[in-house]
Structure 1
């Protein structure tokens, strides 16, 4: 055997040994990740990278491990290192976009995931991640900007993030009614806590004045994750000594996140008013793409053995880091509150709503619109709120 041949064989043996060590290390770390022992997986991968800092597989798995362990900020520089070498790698872009979302940087995540979707349009996980990034820009349990009816309006889709998010908001609205009706006013104090994969919750204190009467109540709900794509959302509300609002209501909502940015949900609600009971079935579909969000909700309301169909259509566009502006159209029939009680009424309306982030954790909420409640009254309303994230 010549010296050249011996050297070549030695190099082949060393390469094979290194490759086997790499494969064994990554496989060992993956096994630890599979049982959610993220701390042990991190130690194994960091030891590997001390020996082989350019090991892309180990770097990629370590980045995902940090993100899954609720530490997306530690994952971001690892993804940036990987993308510096392979800027068009769809897997790296997907992981980077998810980590940005979970770190609360939704606007950047949307840009990254939109680029990934252009590179790999059939990659279903990218569409799902883009939907999550878009939905994460909205508060998890905030009230609708201007509700067509006081308690039965459909809620936007909810997507929980790995980052633990707490929010507190205060909002007020004023409605001018035509005819002989006095103006309506209302205030809300909302608080919520959400985190991906963990039980979340929210609550609100409400106060409304109508027909020279005052109703004050409390609302509370839970966000119960069921796997990666299902979410259960039970909610209840109570108004002691109610004069016009429901004395209580109970709502059960289930939501599923599909691929390619689609989210579907259905809910059942029963509301016990002082003079009657109102039941409602709502089925919603929502789509997120790039900076846009579109949603449609079909409502079927039962009041005194009559069934009234209603429709809610929304289109919104995100801008900046978490800001959004949109339009909402409502039409059909619904349960309407009048001084004598609750009646079925035609409804049609157009509303503008928005959220403007003016500081890292502060946002303005606003709304303005007109709702025609059939032959009963026309309601022109404006609302404003202030939200703080913690």
Structure 2
């Protein structure tokens, strides 16, 4: 589960951070082409993922997304459909929902559903609260996660600390996460993510177990010119004693 969350972290905060200094024109349509490659140790086959994400941006706080991803893990292929929507409730409060479904769900979760509220309670200070439900095909395994986070923007920087208690495979778990971003140029940024916690981990077809997961990711968004951006990321995740994944993500986003 951590690998999928890291990929999402590479795309969402950089593509549509509601509090980034630069404001996106509205409305604007964007298409993102992405590819992800991960190398596993302990004799496990490599992971590969490719997808496309279509989005409409009415403003930096109102965004709709539709994504289709094809992935190959443990020698098996899966597809996943992603949906996302965020909208302002009032000048300080933003609500968002995300959903995904995998018709094949050989390794990926069968489906996931989540939502979040973000409140700007003081200039540059954001409080976030969210929940997410994930169901795997293996033994009808369920993961229910709460997420509480505090984020601060100052000058061209932002820092975030998050705590995520969860109920996974019938046990209580928790994850802690730290993020830092540096925003430069009109629409470019560089970020670092550190996370650790017990999480549901896919071990192969029909196999899901809890593992002490530790991950680090470096990610960036670089404006290439008018309406063109390069997204990139490198990450390393240790899935307990099961395996370690070292990966890289590359994406190209176009606006029209």
* Cα distance change on mapping 1:197 and 1:381 into 2, 3 Å: closer
Distance 1:257 1:196 in 2: 17
For residues 299-355 of structure 1, what are the alpha-carbon distances to aligned partners after superposition, in whole Å with 9 as ceiling and x for unaligned?
Answer: 122112211111121112112221111211111221211114221110112221101
Render the CA deviation track for 1:166-213: whole Å, top value 9, x for unaligned.
221111010000002110011121111122498641110011101111
The alignment partner of 2:2 has SS state of coil
Distance change (3 Å), C-alpha of 1:297 and 1:165: farther
Matched, 1:370 2:233: no
Q: Deviations over 1:82-105 (max 9, x none)?
A: xxxxxxxxxxxxxxxxxxxxxxxx
Matched, 1:158 2:18: yes
Q: Which of 115, 120, 125 in structure 2 is aligned with 1:252?
A: 115
Residue deviations 1:269-326 (CA, integer Å, cap 9, x gap): 1111102111111112211111111112211221122111111211121122211112
Matched with 2:126 is 263
**2:96 is matched with which residue: 233, 237, 245?**
233
Give me the TM-score of the superposition, normalised by structure 2.
0.88
1:335 has 2:166 as partner: no
Partner Cα distance (2:113, 2:215) in 1: 26
Counterpart pick for 1:299 among 152, 164, 176: 164
Equivalent pairs, count: 244
SS in 2 for 1:149: helix
Q: Deviations over 1:256-280 (max 9, x none)?
A: 1222201121111111110211111
Match of 2:70 among 197, 207, 221: 207
Look up the match of 1:183.
46
TM-score (norm 1): 0.59
- 1:151, distance to aligned residue in structure 2 (A): 4.8
Residue aligning to 1:361? 227
Change (3 A) 1:198 1:315: closer
Query: Which residue, out of 76, 82, 95, partners 1:219?
Result: 82
**Residue in structure 1 matched with residue 155 of structure 2 by the alignment:** 290
Distance in 1, matches of 2:64 and 2:184, equals 27
Structure 1 residues 294 and 151: alpha-carbon distance in aligned structure 2, compared to 1, 3 A threshold: closer
- Out of 169, 184, 198, the residue aligned to residue 319 of structure 1 is 184
Q: CA deviation at 1:386?
A: 0.3
User: Structure 2: which 5+ runs fail to align?
Assistant: none
3-state SS of paired residue (1:150): helix
Q: Which structure features the higher share of helix residues? A: 1
Cα 1:365–1:197 change in 2 (3 A) is: closer
Which structure exhibits the higher relative contact order, with contacts defined as CA atoms closer than 8 Å and separated by 6 or more residues? Answer: 2
- The match for 2:135 among 272, 283, 297 is 272
Match for residue 168 of structure 1 among 31, 35, 46: 31
Cα deviation code 1:15-36 (max 9, x no counterpart): xxxxxxxxxxxxxxxxxxxxxx
**Closer, same or farther in 2 for the Cα pair 1:208/1:315, shift >3 Å?**
same
Change over 3 Å in CA distance of 1:374–1:199 after alignment to 2: closer
Larger Rg: 1
Asked whether the 8 Å contact 2:3–2:237 carries over to 1, the reply is no
Note the C-alpha offset of 1:162.
6.5
Task: Give the CA RMSD over aligned residues.
Answer: 2.1
Asked if the contact 2:61/2:94 (under 8 Å) is kept, the reply is no
Segments of 5+ residues of structure 1 without an aligned counterpart are 1-146
Aligned equivalent of 1:149 = 3
Between the aligned partners of 2:178 and 2:60, the Cα distance in structure 1 is 30
State the alpha-carbon separation in 2 of the partners of residues 346 and 389 from structure 1.
Answer: 39
Partner of 1:158, secondary structure, is coil
